[in-house]
Structure 1
Amino acid sequence: MSEKEIRVRIAPSPTGSLHLGTVRTSFYNCLFAKKHGGKFILRIEDTDVQRNKDEYTKEILDGFNWLGIKFDEGPYYQSARLDLYRKFAQKLLDEGKAYYCFVTPEELDELRKIQRAAKVPEKYDNRHRNLTKDQKDKFISEGRKAVTRFKLPDNTDIKWNDEIRGLVSVNTNDLGGDPVIMRADGIPLYNFAVVVDDGDMKMTHVIRGDDHLHNTAKQIPIFEALGFPVPIFAHAPLIFTHDREKLSKRKHGDIANIDKYQKEGYLPEAMANYLVHMSWTQPDKPEEEIFKIDAVALKFELSRISKSSAVYDLPKLNWFNNHYIKEKSLSEIYELSKRFLEKDLNLSIYPKDQILKMIDAVRTGLNKLDELPGLIKFFFNDEFDFSRDEVASSLRTENGRRVLEKILIQINLFNFQNPGDCKNKVDGIGKELALKGKDLYWPLRVALSGSNKGPDLGLIISLLGAEKVKSRIEKALKVLV
């Protein structure tokens, strides 16, 4: 690697929420910068005035902060750099490397219709590349507004050695004609603004999704025309669904946005691990899936990013999140889950130490923290639906009635301070009634929690206490009458 300082960037647009793909690419940029002692820069591409929203900018910044992605510089906003883009556009015009194009939207539509009818690729035909002064004056007198187009070299193979994909070659004839670089209102378009920014900010590497391959082929000639060094490119595979569709905000909704996972109680370290591992494995431990981002920075190589498309896999993400939840202390889980717990439960019913015991009883099955209130809700609310088939079949039996009545008789003999003793007492009642397994436990579970599944039965009895156990059993017995 060159001794020149490594500089990389991520450049989201505030026209929508922060996308999973942007986050994954951010981690790759961040790891690459850390590996080489370089700088990681945040740039906000906010020149699309009609679609930009301040709330999206805030969501993007909050998302990076939540994920622990730190930047060495920025955020830089393109909207504050418009004079710079205009200056470089004028430079290209003065040097004959760009030109004013007066073609109207209607004329472009007609051109596309002709090309579709002829079954040829749709592209701008560069018709205004060599206008005379008289022709320009005529268009101006007609009130036409001109965009600025860059002169792409004709029928030229644009080649680069991609750090992920290897040698890439795209012919300029396949790029849709000379690209617009400035709109008539003086606002730059993406392929021009990004080159000016990357050149001006001295980016050494551009690491982004492989949907930008054709953009790269357009941008390299612009870099060269402006006299900027061409950065080294690395194009990572996109994230697809199991149906082989590109994961997109428009088509797949909020599963594409990082905001969803923050709101639902996924842990940032789980998101980081999952997204990085999607397309990258450690060189020395390729089979090892669990790793902390900072711990693998020195091992990170762009060449180890897979060329194959990544696949969005929610069960896998849940597996990662479950792992990191189990690594947390009970107090940490409580604090991280408090926003969900306080929304759905009256936490004042129990002291904190008992709530921690409830969390401990269910955390091994937690995929995300917003599931926690539902798993321990029965401790706080005894409005159970005993009519459900799987519940009714456990409760509405002669053995079920015998178990519940026997426990009521002996309830004062339970040591509610000790879950183990509570469980042993139930087992003792089972021996008296010659019952065991589901015939013994399920009726009691259903009466106390509304389900025949759940945490340790002794713990449930202990935490509920004598009064609640008695009340719930009596309520269940009424159903049996």
Structure 2
Amino acid sequence: MKVRTRFAPSPTGYLHIGGARTALFSWLYARKHGGDFILRVEDTDLARSNAESVNAILEGMSWLGLEYDEGPFYQTQRFDRYKEVIQQLLDADKAYHCYCTKEELDAMREQQMANKEKPRYDGRCRHRTEPREGVEPVVRFRNPTEGATVVDDMVRGRVVFQNSELDDLIIARSDGSPTYNFTVVVDDWDMQISHVIRGDDHLNNTPRQINIFKALGVEPPRYAHLPMILGPDGAKLSKRHGAVSVMQYRDDGFLPQALLNYLVRLGWSHGDQEVFSLDELIELFDIANVNHSASAINPDKLLWLNQHYIKTSDPDHVARHLSWHMGNHGIDPSLPPPLRDVVVAQCERAKTLVEMAANSVYFYRDFEDYDEKAAKKNLDAEAKPVLQALRAALDAVSDWQPEAIHAAVEGVAERLELKLGKVAQPLRVAVSGGGVSPPIDQTLALLGRERTLGRIERAIDYIEARSGGA
């Protein structure tokens, strides 16, 4: 059988990192085995599903680069198929109509809890043959009452559920709409899903779904239930832990490769290796090596990975992602200097693209104010003749390239008998507004002649204004 996996999120919010890891593991398993990866949107919860959430899921998948071979399929477009299979189960006496009212079900559960019993449907309509006037029935699956259902889980191993502990779940509501545990089975059947990789919060649903498969005479897929992701404090991951949406990580300046590399290590390992290319992941990934225990988020490790990818990735690739952040600063990244060159200059000094973008604005737009501390230290009366000499020397540079720029700056330092830092640092503050930049020759080359000379002139004026024109 060809390997076919699926990612099946509910569009009731953004794509969170737990879902992204599930999608990644499913994608890797399919790619490793030459199979297909299917995207399915489980939108039968009409009250909570919305188009905005669907778009957020698709945007997150696209940003991560987890391309799917089929889909997206939408459950709301398959209601006729679900009705057909429900009728098939009713005709085979594998399902039945239940006419219990909400009040009756509430009273039943209250009595069970008073008797210290597990609250669940007691099957009172299992053998009912007559309809009940004034009550629109639900349809319940006739779950086996004897024996056990075994989940041969690819992560957790053999898990046994006693059928006597599973009640007759509702597969169609009173308005005829199908329920989650039923639609999942029909979809996995029709889409020929061979392996279901999902969070371990679904483990208790699995025996119910297996029993529906068996009632339909269909071989269930193999299951792998992934342990949950915890916050840094070991508690269940929630909004209070900060960025839990995939696109929030984009907004915070992370590269998708860094997040994918980080997510794969939340529960899976290959020796002590920390950094993996996608090709390596496809080659090395083995679902059998997924840990049984939960994994906690480590923000410092993610930052380390992101910095690694910023420094080592193709500058053109980093520039494509940086351009969005430059746009957030109101900068058109198609204007000079080339964004690729900015990445080359800045990649050693940024842990995130947000940081890189903020530190690169001065290449494209004049800054309003100097950094107060840097200006106080470097733009004083002693710096004025240095900047005047630099302006003259740089104005004479015909080939505006780093080598020629460096030679001009070095020549000024020699003539004034100053260490190179005493010349370069006032120049750095003059052209960037702060005390940190790439090497000064790179910085000036990126800024261009006009902008460089204009900013040196501005810095001289600033010094004169502070010193009363002296």
TM-score bin (small chain): 0.7 to 0.9
Identity %: 35
Matches within 5 A, 1:10-409: 10-113=7-110, 121=118, 123-133=119-129, 136-137=130-131, 140-141=132-133, 143-154=134-145, 156-172=147-163, 175=166, 177-248=167-238, 251-252=239-240, 255-282=243-270, 286-346=271-331, 351-353=336-338, 357-379=341-363, 380-384=365-369, 391=373, 395-396=375-376, 401-409=380-388
What is the TM-score with the length of structure 1 in the denominator?
0.82
Select 1:453's aligned residue among 429, 436, 457.
Answer: 436
Higher mean displacement: 54-63 or 339-348: 339-348
When the two chains are superposed, the root-mean-square deviation of aligned CA atoms in Å is 3.3
What residue in structure 1 maps to residue 457 of structure 2?
Answer: 470
Aligned residues: 456
Which AA in structure 2 matches 1:256?
V
Q: How far apart are residue 27 of structure 1 and its match?
A: 2.1
Give the helix-richer structure, 1 or 2. 1
- SS in structure 1 at match of 2:266: helix
Which AA in structure 1 matches 2:410?
N
For 1:384 and 1:155, the matched residues in 2 are separated by 78
- SS in structure 1 at match of 2:458: helix
What is the TM-score with the length of structure 2 in the denominator?
0.84
For 1:253 and 1:116, the matched residues in 2 are separated by 36
For 1:455 and 1:166, the matched residues in 2 are separated by 53
For 2:433 and 2:350, the matched residues in 1 are separated by 19
For 1:299 and 1:146, the matched residues in 2 are separated by 51
CA-to-aligned-CA distance 1:109-168 (integer Å, 9 cap, x gap): 4445555666654x22325333533xx54xx32x22221122333475432221111121
- SS in structure 1 at match of 2:272: coil
Q: 1:422 to 1:459 in 2, by over 3 A?
A: farther
Asked whether the equivalents of residues 156 and 173 of structure 1 are also in contact (C-alpha less than 8 Å), the reply is yes
For 2:314 and 2:32, the matched residues in 1 are separated by 31
Q: 1:408 to 1:41 in 2, by over 3 A?
A: closer
Q: 1:207 to 1:348 in 2, by over 3 A?
A: closer
For 1:108 and 1:102, the matched residues in 2 are separated by 10
CA-to-aligned-CA distance 1:336-384 (integer Å, 9 cap, x gap): 423332442555997325x655443322233333333310223423322
For 1:452 and 1:91, the matched residues in 2 are separated by 74
Q: How far apart are residue 190 of structure 1 and its match?
A: 0.9
- SS in structure 1 at match of 2:178: coil
Q: 1:42 to 1:335 in 2, by over 3 A?
A: closer
- Structure 2: where are the runs of 5+ without partners? none
